[in-house]
Amino acid sequence: MAIIVRLDVMMARRKVRSNALARAVGITEANLSLLKSGKVKGIRFSTLEAICRYLDCQPGELLEYAPDEGAEALAEAG
């Protein structure tokens, strides 16, 4: 996947534990763990907003676009 989730990095910078963030945002620790690992297909904007508010950060600090090498070759060929 070309989207990399950096939530764990921001949580470490802010010294926030998973259980505290999950409780504050209103999601389960299991779902937060899936989000941190990048094993989700999407996130609600309301959840992203709540995370950014709690961690005092921007969405771009949590998500990074890094194109796959195969995708770059396809884009150049097409």
Write the pLDDT tens digit of every residue in 6-62: 999 999 999 999 999 999 999 999 999 999 999 999 999 999 999 999 999 999 999
CA dist 19 and 47 (Å) reads 15
What SS3 state is found at 6? Answer: coil
Range of the domain at 67: 3-77
* Domain count along the chain: 1
CATH code for position 47: 1.10.260.40
pLDDT score for 28 = 97
Position 2 confidence tier, pLDDT thresholds 50, 70, 90: confident
Answer for the pair 32, 65: CB distance below 8 angstroms, yes or no: no
CA dist 46 and 35 (Å) reads 14
Torsion sign, CA atoms 46, 50, 52, 56: positive
pLDDT digits (tens, 9 = 90+) for 9-25: 999 999 999 999 999 99
Report pTM.
0.83
